[in-house]
A and B are shown apart, each in its own frame.
Chain A
Amino acid sequence: MRARLISGAVEARLAQLPLPFNRYGLDPFGVSRDHLALFYTLLEPFYRRYFRVKTYGRQHVPSVGRGMLIGNHSGGIPVDAAMLLSSIFFEGDHPRHAHGMVEKFAQTIPFISTYFSRLGQLAGLPEHALQMLRADRLLMVFPEGARGTGKLYKDRYKLMAFGTGFMRIALQTHTPIIPFAFIGGEEALPTIYHAKLLSKLAGTPYWPVPPYLIPWPLPVECSLHFGEPMRFEGNGSERDEVIEGYVEAVQARINALIIEGRQLRGEDVGGGA
């Protein structure tokens, strides 16, 4: 029954994934082949038809080995994460699966926590990042965290403060950083107001309210722009000022990719964001 639901394209791509599945279709982190099959089958129509995502620079994502995908976070609910996962799974000759670093509160919710685990989306702990990278996986990190998704429409595409933890881990594990920009997320779910009481009741970091009230993303055309891998010198024990300089370089690169992306869709972006 379930097998019939899975798209043929997804099956073919799954077979190419460089993950060590056992006979039950599980990898050592509990990532399940069946769960991935269903997940990507459900995402495919969103990726291809709903958001009509165009991907640029997919060749910059390494076909094997570790890597950190670092980009801007936007749009109330993380459409960008789902579309990024889809893009590196569906595009290019070498499908990959990326592991996200999820807000801890998600781990307490029944079903959600289990699904996130089976999809390899683990709680955002530095130990998890190290374990994944040492296993030569791809990590998806939004250093703005909830500051990025929780910003209002008037601040769209303005990069919030970046956390620096990712850079130390990248240096420690000699991981290349692949910067990316996701364009369209801000328009898909324009947040004009945060409902504090609702977020408190739901236990979420924020509750986005768009002009049409229901926090569901609109079918806006989106695009993803990957930049060339960036490598930095060091072992992760550098002084804060060194790390901050590196992080600024990544941030600047992402900002440039955002401007490129917005110009490509005909926006007049002036000099900055």
Chain B
Amino acid sequence: MRILITGIANALGRRMAERLVLEGEEVLGLDRRPWPDAPPGVTMFNVDVRKRPAEEAFRLQPDAVIHMATVTHLAARKEERYRINLHGTQAVLERCKAYGVKQVIFISRHTVYGAAIDAPLYRTEPEPPLAGSTFPNLADLVSADLFAGSAIWRCPAFKTCVLRLVYTLGPSMRGTLSQLLSTGRVPTIIGFDPLFHFMHEHDAADAILAALRAELRGVYNIAGPPPVPLSILAKGTGRKIAYIPEIMFPKVTGKLGLPALSPYAIKHLKYPVVIDNALFREATGFKHAYDEVTVMDAYRAL
């Protein structure tokens, strides 16, 4: 089987590529960022997924495409995020159609559900993603998620699957949640302690591969162990907790040894985004290898 991974240079991409090569699969990688020590068996295309040279990777006719060349961090400008997340996805889907790809997996985030006060604790796939209203900076991700999902009926020639992953933690120390933990002082809003849902990087990579093997079609939540309150997450990963009054939050973010966060991030520090992964577990039989305590212990030791 030949598998194309876009955005391969991130932690999940590398992990998946290594696993697939070990299993004897052929891997094609697309990324603007280089991956100098890519293992043999991985053919790298060092180009932007939206650019014409990227088409060369599709001409090798991969059987499946795992698309995760999306920008999830908020440091990127809004226009840039829209270009990459929406037009990038459009380009990938069109080429998949043109070159006879059989299976497309789009990697989305559980944050698309949005941290809303009146939302149930465990969110399921049929629920609408609310992040567009609760966290306007994430609107492009919500659009990309739904746009990719529309390929399920727009492009019947291949199987489309949208995977909504919880936060990941692991040796790469990259990602949204790692950023929150990056300075060693974790901001919390006084009087609130929402549940945070995360899983180990390696488990996340395994889960995506499980979706690949099961040839899933549809939208699936992916989570590992149950969530823990932010205070426990901070303690468990060896961080200090900074207690911030709600009205002070926009003024202190990025200062006093706190990570720089969007003012909208306050919603995520007050209310949980937790997902139900029963559908995915049923469809693939996926089981996580790292429980919540192990994930935090391992992260603290890094």
Contact = CB atoms under 8 A, between A and B. Distances in A.
B191 A114 contact: yes
8 closest Cβ pairs, A-B complex: A110-B191, A127-B120, A28-B226, A111-B191, A114-B193, A30-B195, A23-B293, A125-B120
Given A110-B192, A114-B193, A26 B229 contact: yes
- Give the interface residue-count category, chain B: 20 to 34
Main secondary structure of the interface of A (DSSP, over half): mixed
Contact of A22 (B121, B191, B292): B292
A29 B197 CA distance: 11
Interface in A93-110: 104, 107-110
B295 to A, nearest CB: 12
Contacts, number: 60
B212 to A, nearest CB: 27
A123 interface: yes
Given A30-B195, A114-B193, A24 B232 contact: yes
A131 interface: yes
A113 interface: yes
Contacts of B232: 24, 26
29 contacts: A22-B291, A23-B293, A24-B228, A24-B293, A26-B232, A27-B226, A28-B226, A29-B121, A30-B121, A30-B272, A104-B117, A104-B118, A107-B117, A107-B118, A108-B117, A110-B192, A111-B191, A113-B191, A114-B191, A114-B192, A117-B193, A117-B195, A118-B229, A127-B121, A127-B122, A127-B124, A128-B121, A131-B121, A131-B276
A122 interface: yes
B259 interface: no
Contacts of A113: 191-192
Interface of B: 117-118, 120-122, 124, 189-193, 195, 226-229, 232, 236, 246, 272, 276, 291-293
Contacts of A117: 193, 195
Interface residues of A, number: 25
A29 B121 CA distance: 8
Interface string A1-45: 000000000000000000000111011111010000000000000
A131 B122 contact: yes
Contacts of B122: 127, 131
A30 B227 contact: yes
Interface in A39-84: none
Contacts of A30: 121, 195, 227-229, 272
